[in-house]
Amino acid sequence: MPSPRANAPMRLAAPATLLAQSSLLAALPPDVHERLLPHFSLVELAAGQELGTPHSGPARALFPLSGVVSLVQQLPDGDSGQVAMVGREGLLGLPLVMGGDAMPTRGVVQCAGYGLALSRERLVEEFERSGPFMRHLLRYTQAMITQISLLVVCNRHHSIEQQLSRLILMSLDRVHGHEVPLTQEFAARLLGVRREGVTEASGRLREAGSVACRRGVFAVQDRKALESRACSCYHAVKSEYARLLPVHCTEGHGAAAPRPALPVLQPAPAWGALAPAA
């Protein structure tokens, strides 16, 4: 699959605007911004792009500015399912600072967007200062553990309609506007169910007036109605993120937010977002 395009580390145009698009980075003090900004690379993330593979050591961390990345766990028999998602509230590459190195999951870009990449060396160096950066990442790690734990139980005990509603809502909290770019086939892969089950569930949501479905897009028409059809896992995950990370992307409830003034991306060699070079 094609790799995200990246420019070399540089002092990014409109840095305050760019960093504000990441809830995790926006919460950090100015001195941390000053140290990290020269080392970020702006990358474009394409829908369906795989970012790293299980059991490989990440080479870089990724802070999404827009879009959604799903963390997918694959079983030995080939079955797979989503165990978490990452958007503007967090980062990919936690093993870099947790000491485990290897990625237990693979990242797949669910909704296209942009992100800021940071080298392993700079990430670990800032983390080991034991300041606000470390504290924010540890709180984010706790929120991520909660998300993974709840989604594992959700996939086992809740109906496909409840899971699909939760998936749409969690995605909506991390994108601009009220539309989630997501095909029914991809949704079925993330939930680990048959596509027919997702088709039936989306039909019921459409009949209830919660969403409108067109090719590759779920357009949320009645958020409150959709929330009422989702399982309690959605609200539990959202509450935990709000508790641990007060500046969180779900504050706007999916409302449109201004897009950053992004520098022009120049073609570059394959980036290898999370996987190290061969």
Mean pLDDT confidence for 176-192: 92
When pLDDT is averaged across residues 223-241 and rounded to a whole number, the result is 94
Angle value at C-alpha 45, between 77 and 39, nearest 5 degrees: 115
Higher pLDDT, 177 or 166: 166
pTM: 0.82
pLDDT digits (tens, 9 = 90+) for 59-115: 789 999 999 999 998 777 767 789 999 999 999 989 888 876 667 788 899 999 999
Please check the confidence at residue 176 and state whether its pLDDT lies above 90.
Answer: no
Q: Are 147 and 226 in contact (CB under 8 A)?
A: no
* Backbone φ and ψ of 100, nearest 5°: -90, -25
pLDDT tens digit string along 185-198? 999 999 999 999 99
- The per-residue pLDDT for 17 is 78
Confidence bin at 246 (pLDDT 50/70/90): confident
Answer whether 23's CB lies under 8 Å from 245's CB.
yes
CA-to-CA distance for 66 and 63, rounded, in angstroms?
9
pLDDT computed for residue 59 by the predictor: 76
Average pLDDT over residues 211-226: 94
